[in-house]
Amino acid sequence: MQQSPSQYRQELAALANRIPAFEELRVFLETSQKLDASPATISRIRFNDNSATEFTDIAEANLSKCLRPTQSSDLFVIENVSAHVIELLGSQFDVEFDFWLEHVSNSNWFRLGDIEKHLPALKSVRLDSRHTRHRFIGPRELLLKTPVQFVKDRIEPEAGSARVPRVAGALNPLERLPNRSHKDIWAKERFPPLALTRQHVSMWFDANEGSAGWNLGIILLDPPFRPERDLGECQNPAYRSFVPRPQTQSRLTYHLSLISCLKQDKNLQNGRIPCPFVVLGDMYRIIASEWIVVNTSLQRELNTIEWNIENEDARLERLHAHLNSLYTIRRRVTLYQVLIKEQREACRQHGRRYWDRSPSAGTNTLALENVTNTLEMDFAFVADQVAKNQERVSKNVSLLMALISVAESRIMIANGRRVEALALAAFFLVPFSLVSSVMNINGDLRMGGPRQYVFWVVSVPFSAVLGLGYMLYSRSWVS
C-alpha cells in the first residue's frame, strides 16, 4: 500500500517501539541526513518488452520525479543510500523495513555482542522473503602516508566518507626472508599492507507469489572504503576481470563495475524483461571475483610463512609470530567459508523463491539455467580454493606447534647445561673446601699431623669415582 514518506517514518517508529532491533534503522533515518556525506549515487536500468534496455543516472534530488508507474521493469542501483532515498522508495513501493535494516546494520563480524543482531533467520523464512543481503570482502592495498611496520587490526573509515561506516580489517604481510643459500643475491621482500574492507550488497525485488514477474528491483551497494587521512589511502581495486576478454569494465566503484557489466551482458539485450536472478548474475560474479583476490592474498601469506620456515633457523619469537598470523588467517577463513557457502546456496535457489519469473511472455528459461550453472561453477571454484588454504593453515599450525616444541626443548637443554656447569663447579670445589676445613682442624688429621694422609686417601678416590660415574651417565643420557 502506497504511503507518504512521513507515514512510512511513523510506521517505522511504532515498529521500533515494539521490536528493539528496528531502533538502529530509526536512528539511521534521523542521523544520516545530518552527516556531511556525498549524496547517493543512483542509476536506473529500465527493461522493456521489444525494445532496448535503458540506462539512466539520476540525481538524488530528482528521484521522486522518476518513480511514476510504468509498464516496464525498473532496477535501481544505489550506492551510499540515504534516509531520503529509503523514505521515498519504501513508501512508494511498500518495501519491507527488514531490507533497509539488514543493509544499514553495522554489527561486528567476528566479536559477537548483542545476540539479537546476530540471530540468523530460518531458511524457510529467508526463501519466502523478497530480499537478500550478502557480505563479502573487498581487499585494497594501502598506500601509507608514513612507512610503518604494522597497521592496527581494525581500520576505521574517514569520517563522513559513508553513511554506513564500515570498518576494514588489516592484513600485515610478513617479511619474506632471503634464500639461505643465496643471501648475497636475494633481498628481503616486503609487501604493502591490505585493507580487508567489509562490504554489504542488498537486493530486493517486488516479485511475489501472486505476481507473474517483477516491476521494481533495488540493489544497495557500499561506497569505496576510505581510511582515516592520517593513515593513507586505498589503491584502486585489483580484482581479476569478471567479464570475458577483450571486454573491459570500470573498477573504481562497485556501482560503476555493475553498470558496466550490465551494459555488456548479452542476456539483458534480447528485447525481453529478464527474471531477477538473471539481472543479478553480474553482481554475484563480482562478489566471486573479490573472494578470489582475498584468497590469493592469504595464499601469498601462507607461502611466506612456509618459505621463512624453510630458510631460517627456528627462532622461538619468529615461530610464535608465524603461529599468530596463522591463527588470524584461520579465524578469517572460517567466516569467509560460511559467507561463500551462503552465496553458493543462493545461486542454486535463484536468490529467492520467486526470482526466477519474468513478466515477458514466452521468455526463454535457457538464460536462467546458464546463469545459474555458471554461478554455481564459479562459487564452487571459490569454495574449493578457500578450502585448500584452510587445509594448508591446519597443516602449518601443526608444523609450527612441533617446531615450537623443539625450540622450547632446545632452550630447556641450554638452561640445563648452565645448571650442569654450576653443579660441576660446586662438585670440584667441594674437595678444596674440605682441604681448607682440614687445614684448620686439630688432631692427628691436621696438616703436618701423623695421619694427614688419610684425608687424601679417602677424598681423591672418592672424587675420581664420582667424576667417572657422572661422565658415563652423561654419555648414556645424550646417546
Same domain, 445 and 325: no
21 or 110, greater pLDDT: 21
User: Residue 350: inside a domain, yes or no?
Assistant: yes
pLDDT digits (tens, 9 = 90+) for 179-200: 666 555 556 788 889 999 999 9
User: Residue 153: inside a domain, yes or no?
Assistant: yes
Same domain, 180 and 33: yes
Q: Which residues contact 461 (CB under 8 A, 6 or more apart)?
A: none
Same domain, 175 and 289: yes
Q: How confident is the model at residue 426 (pLDDT cuts 50, 70, 90)?
A: low
Same domain, 366 and 464: no
Same domain, 467 and 325: no
46 or 145, greater pLDDT: 46
Q: Within a 10 A sphere around the Cβ of 322, how many other Cβ atoms? A: 24
Q: How confident is the model at residue 67 (pLDDT cuts 50, 70, 90)?
A: confident
User: Residue 413: inside a domain, yes or no?
Assistant: no
pLDDT digits (tens, 9 = 90+) for 363-422: 667 888 899 999 999 999 999 999 999 999 999 999 888 888 887 777 787 777 777 766
Q: Is the pLDDT of residue 330 over 90?
A: yes
Range of the domain at 31: 5-407
User: Residue 424: inside a domain, yes or no?
Assistant: no
pLDDT digits (tens, 9 = 90+) for 254-296: 999 999 889 988 888 877 889 999 999 999 999 999 999 999 9
> Which pLDDT belongs to residue 87?
94
Same domain, 344 and 390: yes
Please identify, among 359, 384, 407, the residue that sits at the C-terminal boundary of a domain: 407
Share of the chain above pLDDT 70, in %: 81
The number of CA neighbours under 13 Å toward the Cβ of 54 is: 13
Please identify, among 359, 392, 407, the residue that sits at the C-terminal boundary of a domain: 407
Q: How confident is the model at residue 117 (pLDDT cuts 50, 70, 90)?
A: low
99 or 449, greater pLDDT: 99
Which of 11-15, 37-41, 274-278, 413-417 is predicted with the least confidence, judged by mean pLDDT? 413-417
Average pLDDT rounded to a whole number, residues 431-438: 58
Same domain, 281 and 337: yes
pTM (global) more than 0.75: yes
User: Residue 334: inside a domain, yes or no?
Assistant: yes
User: Residue by residue, what is the 3-state secondary structure of the chain?
Assistant: CCCCHHHHHHHHHHHHHHCHHHHHHHHHHHHHHHCCCCCCEEEEEEECCCCCCEEEEECHHHHHHHCCCCCCEEEEEEECCCHHHHHHHHHHHCCCHHHHHHHHCCCCCCCCCCHHHHCCCCHHHHHHCCEEEEEEEEEEEEEECCCCCCCCCEECECCCCCCCCCCEEEECCCCECCCHHHCCCCCCECCCCEEEEEEEEEEEECCCCCCCCCCEEEEEECCCCCECCCCEEECCCCCCCCCCCCCCCCCCCHHHHHHHHHHHCHHHCCCCCCCHHHHHHHHHHHHHHHHHHHHHHHHHHHHHHHHHHHCCCCCHHHHHHHHHHHHHHHHHHHHHHHHHHHHHHHHHCCCCCCCCCCCCCCCCCHHHHHHHHHHHHHHHHHHHHHHHHHHHHHHHHHHHHHHHHHHHHHHHHHHHHHHHHHHHHHHHHHHHHHHHHHHCCCCCCCCCCCCCHHHHHHHHHHHHHHHHHHHHHHHHHHC
Q: How confident is the model at residue 338 (pLDDT cuts 50, 70, 90)?
A: very high
User: Residue 135: inside a domain, yes or no?
Assistant: yes
Same domain, 374 and 458: no
Same domain, 349 and 302: yes
Please identify, among 382, 407, 432, the residue that sits at the C-terminal boundary of a domain: 407
User: Residue 393: inside a domain, yes or no?
Assistant: yes
Q: How confident is the model at residue 429 (pLDDT cuts 50, 70, 90)?
A: low
> Which pLDDT belongs to residue 246?
47
Same domain, 156 and 246: yes
Total tally of structural domains belonging to the chain: 2
Average pLDDT rounded to a whole number, residues 6-31: 91
103, 162 Cβ separation under 8 angstroms: no
Same domain, 32 and 111: yes
User: Residue 427: inside a domain, yes or no?
Assistant: no
Same domain, 45 and 99: yes
Which of 331-340, 354-363, 395-404, 466-475 is predicted with the least confidence, judged by mean pLDDT? 466-475
Q: Is the pLDDT of residue 147 over 90?
A: no
Average pLDDT in the chain: 83
426 or 339, greater pLDDT: 339
